[in-house]
A and B are shown apart, each in its own frame.
Chain A
């Protein structure tokens, strides 16, 4: 079993839909990242969380440390949101553990 599990693996949506991507992990962590990888491969860090909730534009990330679970929400989705979204956790050692990603396609 992977230490970081994401669901769903693939997600399609119509423009404007509300999207949720989930991440569950099995190790103790000090922080969790949500990353966005575009088709060209470049990666952008969206959020780094250690508790609670963060919001940036149409993106919202939440984390529940007790339940070892985080969610990434996208409101009013747009085709330009199409990308792979990756959850990565910082365990007690100083190396990220990555989930396998959620491939999102938003159609107009």
Chain B
């Protein structure tokens, strides 16, 4: 089946550091990639949707200057948490879809656990 690789799997860093998370589709071209955030024992919350070659669409309440998303190619999207603070500690997970539109499966990465000290 389709594989999405997310890297790194875990990050521990000091407050004020910027952290970049990569999401790659390994065997298909991902027209659309989604970035989610998950707090412990809660459901996934969509942060933003990125389409290759265009600006990401952010959900209400998500600061676009804080969470920079780049989808420069059909196989790679990156999420950069800028000047991270302890409240940004969370589990971040990406998914990728090959075709825009409903009834298309999303393939999820393994997630990145971010801990800000």
Chain A interface residues toward B at CB < 8 A: 30-31, 33, 35, 40-45, 48, 50, 86, 90, 92, 94-96, 98-101
- List residues of chain A with CB within 8 A of the CB of B110: 40-43
CA distance A103 to B100 in the complex (A): 31
In the complex, the answer to whether A95 meets B46 with C-beta atoms within 8 Å is yes
Given contacts A48-B103, A90-B102, 5 further A-B contacts (CB under 8 A): A30-B102, A31-B103, A42-B109, A45-B108, A94-B102
Chain B interface residues toward A at CB < 8 A: 32, 34, 38, 42-44, 46, 49, 91, 93, 95, 100-103, 105-111, 113
- List residues of chain A with CB within 8 A of the CB of B107: 45
- List residues of chain B with CB within 8 A of the CB of A50: 103
CA distance A44 to B3 in the complex (A): 10
17 A–B pairs (Cβ distance < 8 Å), ordered by A: A33-B106, A35-B108, A41-B111, A42-B109, A43-B95, A45-B107, A48-B103, A86-B43, A86-B44, A90-B102, A90-B103, A94-B49, A96-B46, A96-B106, A100-B42, A100-B43, A101-B43
6 closest pairs, A vs B, by CB? A42-B110, A43-B108, A41-B111, A30-B102, A98-B43, A100-B43
